[in-house]
Amino acid sequence: MKIKFCGGVQSVTGSCHLITIGNRKLLLDCGQFQGSKIAEKLNYEHFGFSPSEIDFLVLSHAHIDHCGRIPLLVKYGFRGKILCTDATFDLVQIMLRDSGYIHEKEAEWQNRKNIRAGKPMVAPLYTVKDAEDSFKYFEPMVYGETKQLCDEIKIRFKDAGHILGSAITEIFAREDNRNTKIVFSGDLGMKDRPILRDPETIAEADIIIMETTYGNRVHPENLKSVDALIDIILKTTARGGNVVIPAFAVGRTQELLYDLNRFYEESSPDYREALSKIKVYVDSPMAVTATEIFRRNSQVFDEETKEYIMKGDHPLDFPNLVFSKTSEESLAINFNNEPKVILSASGMCEAGRIKHHLKHNIWNAKNAIVFVGYQAEGTLGKRIVDGEKHITLFGEQIYVNAPVYNLEGMSGHADRDSLLDWLSGFKKKPNQLFLVHGEAQSKLDFADLVKAKLGYDAIPVNEVSEYDIIPGSGSAEASEAAEKHVDNSDAQASREDIIEMREKMYKLHEDFETLLYNASLAVDGKRISKEHAEEINNILLNLEKGVVNLGSDVLLEKRND
């Protein structure tokens, strides 16, 4: 068994790792390189393996640095299965279509220049059509479901709490009669973040591959960052300025809406009065669609958010919120003089409408620019955060005169302490711990911390490289024999498994009661909105699908007995 790190090793983008188990090849993520021009050139380079040889691709979440090269993989011959959670599949479709569109536009722009310079034409990295061609290979799963991919490989997704649909992957591999459990963290989120559940802890693994984006940094508390954001909004708009927030269209934008909504709900009447006069613009067509997808996937929200919905308040909506979809609506934002908040993508200021908003606002000291997410080396966002005074936008030099704030506490990435906390959840020392997805220093510092606190050696992966996997100690034969004799204690479901299932049943029972209650309100009188009735109907349809599938599985098993 081998693992080859093909991307997401020198920096945080281009995540891509290849595991070979027997004669099966399983890829973890297939991300796009982002940031500097040099990084982006890597997207055109060879994958480091032949796409047609890959049997399975496991996708941890829908961020472009994890999924952005999937259309290329398919274009160059991949014909296997792509496994991810159902919410990830919903999001990945808009992400990849949008990415294809950006590549088409970039090539068009480059070609206009090339014609004038007498240079040859370039082709886009991939097109919208390429993106759509890749969708048929996806097989979405739900969290907690165990899926046998082939004789040698079984996988299961746990919630990573990083963005909607994000997953930690457990891989149960079998080779040469040995069982090995590999855990891939994907990107991990912070605990107690809005909307999402906390990252799940995993008790056992022979091999761990984990991210270290913030391997040497500790975030301030999120609540403090939300307070700071509200302060900045009130202060800036009071002096007649705009607050510009570069934010990932998927994830960060929805979390900000949630935080703002909660603040409106829970703050004093004075605050609410002041805030209700300030319009909040979400200026990104993708954010509008992504917000819809969030609303459709409320089954994976945390309890607090579900309660909001049950109370009839939509957590991603408030009265002065304006979505702008068309480019005319987007342009109009910069031509009205009212002080306002503008949320726009991309989060690292590399592309999209945010560049226009920066051009219109960053030169003026009365406005404010607020960063709420990770800024990779080489990006425009990173240069602004680092205090560069002159930036270039659309070929024009612009002076950075507006105050720039960096609210790291709102990051969707676990910080150093949370990463260590997650790692401490494993009950025994893994055979190998690979650190990926972080700047070099971050990985080195985190490896030192792991040695000091947990006493074992981590491997910081800093270049494209291959390692032999040290297999687990469990013999496949023994566990197979155990499976046949259920009285053997090894083969029985653990006490924890049973408790977990029982809790799920209780929870489902409660959900059904609430659902029935709401549905009966809907049927009896006109006490709930059409939108809610539709939502209930959708939930019912999905539950029905689940129950029917479960029913047919049980029936099939009975027949085969």
Q: Is the peptide bond before 327 cis (omega within 30 degrees of 0)?
A: no
Question: Among residues 63 and 193, whose Cβ is nearest to Zn ion?
Answer: 63
In this chain, which stretch among 15-23, 180-188, 228-236, 553-561 interacts with Zn ion, using CB under 5 A? Answer: 180-188
Dihedral over Cα of 35, 242, 219, 323: its sign: negative
Question: Among residues 7 and 339, whose Cβ is nearest to Zn ion?
Answer: 7
Specify whether the CB–CB gap between 153 and 21 falls below 8 A: yes
Residues 517 and 535: their CA atoms lie apart, in Å, by: 14
Task: Look at the chain and count its residues.
Answer: 561
Q: How far is the CB of 52 from Zn ion (least distance, A)?
A: 28
Question: Among residues 84 and 342, whose Cβ is nearest to Zn ion?
Answer: 84
Within 455-494, residue ranges assigned H as helices are: 476-484
Two tokens, residue 147: 């899926």
Q: How far is the CB of 513 from Zn ion (least distance, A)?
A: 36
**What DSSP string describes 231-248?**
HHHHHHHHTT--EEEE--
Question: Among residues 67 and 343, whose Cβ is nearest to Zn ion?
Answer: 67
Q: Which helix (H) or strand (E) holds 108?
A: helix 86-117
Q: How far is the CB of 337 from Zn ion (least distance, A)?
A: 37
Question: Among residues 263 and 446, whose Cβ is nearest to Zn ion?
Answer: 446
296: CB partners within 8 A, 6+ apart: 90, 538
Residues 104 and 101: their CA atoms lie apart, in Å, by: 5
In this chain, which stretch among 29-37, 59-67, 133-141, 254-262 interacts with Zn ion, using CB under 5 A? Answer: 59-67
Q: How far is the CB of 61 from Zn ion (least distance, A)?
A: 6
Residues 341 and 322: their CA atoms lie apart, in Å, by: 10
Q: How far is the CB of 184 from Zn ion (least distance, A)?
A: 13
135: CB partners within 8 A, 6+ apart: 93, 96
Burial bucket for residue 107 (CB in 10 Å: 0-12, 13-18, 19+): middle
Question: Among residues 180 and 213, whose Cβ is nearest to Zn ion?
Answer: 213
Q: With binding defined as CB under 5 A, does residue 63 bind Zn ion?
A: yes
Two tokens, residue 442: 């971050």
247-306 positions binding Zn ion, by CB under 5 A: none
Question: Among residues 340 and 413, whose Cβ is nearest to Zn ion?
Answer: 413
In this chain, which stretch among 60-68, 69-77, 451-459, 509-517 interacts with Zn ion, using CB under 5 A? Answer: 60-68
Q: Compute CA 380 distance to the chain's CA centroid, rounded to the nearest angstrom.
A: 21
Question: Among residues 376 and 461, whose Cβ is nearest to Zn ion?
Answer: 376
Q: Which residues pair with 4 in a beta bridge?
A: 18, 466
Q: How far is the CB of 63 from Zn ion (least distance, A)?
A: 4
Q: How far is the CB of 422 from Zn ion (least distance, A)?
A: 15
Q: Are strands 390-393 and 368-371 parallel, antiparallel or unpaired?
A: unpaired
In this chain, which stretch among 182-190, 269-277, 448-456, 533-541 interacts with Zn ion, using CB under 5 A? Answer: 182-190
Q: With binding defined as CB under 5 A, does residue 181 bind Zn ion?
A: no
Question: Among residues 10 and 330, whose Cβ is nearest to Zn ion?
Answer: 10
Question: Among residues 175 and 187, whose Cβ is nearest to Zn ion?
Answer: 187
Residues 145 and 85: their CA atoms lie apart, in Å, by: 10
437-496 positions binding Zn ion, by CB under 5 A: none
360-399 positions binding Zn ion, by CB under 5 A: none
In this chain, which stretch among 179-187, 310-318, 389-397, 433-441 interacts with Zn ion, using CB under 5 A? Answer: 179-187
Q: How far is the CB of 454 from Zn ion (least distance, A)?
A: 25
Q: With binding defined as CB under 5 A, does residue 187 bind Zn ion?
A: yes
Two tokens, residue 345: 């993508």
Q: How far is the CB of 189 from Zn ion (least distance, A)?
A: 9
DSSP state letter for 190: -
In this chain, which stretch among 58-66, 115-123, 267-275, 364-372 interacts with Zn ion, using CB under 5 A? Answer: 58-66
State the residues that interact with Zn ion by CB under 5 A.
63, 187
